[in-house]
């Protein structure tokens, strides 16, 4: 059941080394256009490094990747024009209103001046932020901040949207609202969405396909139900995760990862 | 743009920044005007010092711009900018212009203080336009310099240390509070390669009627513009490193 369209993301032996550490080790991924793809793994598995390479923030040490039909090394500006990115860290500016944050994105993506006002209003309404549009972002709840950041990432109608841990630190209601908006985005704009997560429920509910990363490598990929079947009768996605990545969530991840995650969580929470 | 909106919402920063130049005028300036130990030609010491203090406040306001960029890095704002198709150089120039706008507000306050202290500033379109251009360019220069440092050190703690180490020598090894002629030759050599000297020289010519140009306005602006351009190019190369 492969779609006849070319994949939105494809990587060939994508590798990134930091000094002696192999953060991402010969990763081969193919993400079909118009799907929501989840990159799972414990902290430090290489998910964020993979996203940084695909979004052109970090050059790969070796290997190659195509995003929205463009090569991340040879055509980085074409890639940048075709993607949206919501970092794990809080990237909306608390000292500005929702509309002002959106205006900054509109300027960065060179959206024609005449179209800006209407496009910003429409995007904020789509994310359920119309009423809060003129409030300072520091008065927003964590879920509202995330939805605003997603609205910023989608303002220029990218073909591919990258989200790094989109619901980290959010309460269940806010998480469901974010998932709902992401699914609606895919349905309405045919956007390909790639998220990283270590939240099993998020992977199960939101994603069409998953790849589990462990120590820089993709250890298994498939739909959530395929992965559960492969693991055994009645297996949950948590069991899948333990089987392929080891029961290592608790003891993997550097101090830096933890500090960053908690900082994000406390700022959103 | 975003920065100016924030300044408008929280103008306390503007007033706290005005305290230091005020002290320089009231304390340092008054004392040295009385003692007359620094030869300043036809100008009173207070008059001589006023452009130096303006340049100093421009330098101090801009040199910590890198802190804001490191803060933006910690927040993920830098990442968001770098994944956009906007060119790196335009991102850096945007920062520099924002710093320039802040510098103008700062400069206007110091000029007002100088007037209140009895320094006769030149009026007229040309001096004021020139002054505006010099303050914009000076702010852009030091803000971009600050951005380059931020890209290299990447953490707030290291930046604070380096910021302190650089600012004071830049200020004292310049013509801000004493003329070049007074300096020992080694210090004069340092001051000659210090961009702050050229900013002070330009400001002094543009602000005061009786100030003979030491370097000449053309050279002042040429130095400021070329150093700023070189720093922008360097910063545009280093900026992507902040997201790694």
Q: Is residue A209 part of a domain?
A: yes
Q: How close does chain B come to A89, measured CA to CA in Å?
A: 5
Listing DSSP states for A14-44 in one string gives: EEEEETTEEEEEEE--EE-TT-EEEEE--TT
Give the three-class secondary structure for A218.
strand
Range of the structural domain that residue B58 is part of: 2-243
Which CATH number fits the domain that encloses residue A230?
A: 3.40.50.300
Task: Give residue-wise pLDDT tens across range A123-147.
Answer: 999 999 999 999 999 999 999 999 9
Lowest mean pLDDT among B3-7, B34-38, B166-170: B3-7
Global pTM reads 0.84
CB-based contact A91 B79, cutoff 8 Å:
yes
**Residue B25: pLDDT above 70?**
yes
What is the count of structural domains for chain B? 1
Provide the chain A residues 205-234 that lie in CB contact (below 8 A) with chain B.
Answer: none
- Does A171 reside within a domain? yes
The yes-or-no verdict on residue B231 having pLDDT over 60 is yes
Residue A124's Cβ-count burial label (10 Å; 0-12, 13-18, 19+) is buried
Q: What is the pLDDT of residue A37?
A: 97
Helix or strand run (H / E) with residue B168: helix B156-172
Domain assignment of residue A2, yes or no: no
Interface contact A116, partner B, CB < 8 A: no
Residue A27 falls within a domain, yes or no?
A: yes
> Which 76-105 residues of chain B touch chain A by CB within 8 A?
76-77, 79-86
What pLDDT is attached to residue B14? Answer: 65
User: Residue ranges of the alpha helices (H) in chain A?
Assistant: 47-54, 76-82, 98-108, 113-126, 142-154, 172-189, 200-206, 224-231, 237-245, 255-268
Q: Which of A30-34, A176-180, B7-11 has the lowest mean pLDDT?
A: B7-11
What pLDDT was estimated at residue B72? 86
Q: What residues in A contact B244, CB-CB < 8 Å?
A: 52, 57-58
Give the strand pairing for A62-67 and A70-71: antiparallel
> In terms of residue numbers, what domain contains A66?
9-268
| CB pair distance less than 8 Å for B84 and A108 | yes
- Total of domains in chain A: 1
Residue A1 within any structural domain of the chain: no
What whole-number distance in Å separates Cα of residue A266 and Cα of residue A168?
Answer: 10
| A54 assigned to some structural domain | yes
pLDDT of res. A259: 65
- For the segment A19-64, what is each residue's pLDDT rounded down to a tens digit? 889 999 999 999 999 999 999 988 889 998 999 999 999 999 999 9
Residue A220 belongs to a domain: yes
Q: Closest partner residue to B5 among A77, A83, A96, by Cβ?
A: A96
Sequence-distant (6+) residues with CB within 8 A of B193 are none
- A91 and B9 in contact by Cβ < 8 A? no
């Amino acid at each position: 059941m492969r779609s006849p369209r070319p994949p939105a993301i494809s990587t060939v032996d994508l590798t990134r080394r930091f000094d002696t550490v192999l953060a991402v080790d010969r990763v081969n991924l193919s993400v079909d256009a118009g799907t929501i793809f989840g990159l799972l793994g414990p902290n430090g598995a290489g998910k964020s490094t993979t996203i940084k390479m695909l979004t052109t923030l970090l050059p790969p040490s070796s290997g190659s990747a195509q995003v929205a039909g463009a090569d991340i090394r040879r055509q980085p500006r074409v890639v940048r024009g075709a993607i949206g990115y919501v970092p794990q860290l809080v990237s909306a500016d608390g000292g500005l209103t929702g509309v002002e944050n959106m205006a900054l994105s509109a300027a960065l993506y060179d959206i024609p001046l005449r179209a800006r006002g209407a496009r910003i209003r429409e995007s904020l309404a789509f994310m359920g932020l119309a009423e809060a549009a003129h409030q300072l972002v520091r008065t927003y709840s964590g879920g509202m901040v995330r939805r605003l950041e997603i609205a910023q990432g989608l303002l220029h109608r990218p073909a591919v949207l990258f989200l790094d841990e989109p619901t980290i630190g959010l309460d269940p209601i806010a998480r469901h609202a974010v998932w709902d908006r992401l699914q609606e985005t895919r349905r309405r704009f045919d956007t390909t969405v790639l998220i990283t997560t270590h939240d099993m429920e998020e992977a199960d509910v939101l994603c069409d396909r998953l790849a589990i990363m462990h120590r820089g490598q993709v250890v298994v990929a498939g739909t959530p139900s395929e992965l559960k079947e492969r693991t055994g009768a009645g297996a949950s996605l948590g069991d899948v995760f333990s089987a392929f990545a080891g029961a290592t969530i608790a003891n993997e991840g550097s101090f830096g990862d933890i500090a960053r995650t908690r900082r994000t969580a406390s700022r959103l929470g | 743009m975003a920065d100016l909106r924030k300044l408008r919402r929280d103008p306390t920063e503007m007033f706290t920044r005005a305290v230091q130049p005020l002290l320089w005028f009231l304390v340092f300036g008054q004392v040295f005007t009385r003692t007359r130990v620094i030869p300043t030609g036809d100008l009173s010491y207070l008059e001589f010092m006023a452009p130096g203090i303006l340049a100093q406040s421009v330098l101090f306001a801009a040199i910590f711009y890198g802190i804001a960029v490191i803060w933006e890095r910690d927040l993920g704002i830098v990442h968001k900018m770098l994944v956009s198709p906007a060119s790196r150089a335009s991102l850096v120039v945007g920062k520099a212009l924002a710093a320039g706008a802040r510098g103008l507000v700062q400069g206007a306050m110091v000029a007002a203080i100088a007037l209140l202290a009895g320094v006769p500033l030149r009026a007229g379109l040309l001096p004021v336009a020139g002054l505006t251009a010099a303050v914009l360019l000076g702010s852009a220069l030091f803000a971009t310099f600050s951005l380059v440092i931020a890209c290299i050190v990447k953490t707030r703690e290291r930046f604070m240390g380096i910021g302190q180490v650089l600012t004071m020598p830049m200020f004292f090894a310049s013509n801000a509070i004493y003329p070049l002629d007074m300096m020992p030759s080694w210090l004069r050599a340092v001051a000659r390669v210090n961009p702050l000297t050229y900013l002070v020289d330009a400001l002094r010519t543009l602000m005061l009627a009786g100030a003979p140009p030491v370097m000449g306005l053309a050279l002042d602006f040429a130095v400021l513009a070329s150093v700023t351009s070189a720093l922008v190019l360097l910063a545009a190369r280093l900026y992507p490193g902040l997201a790694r």
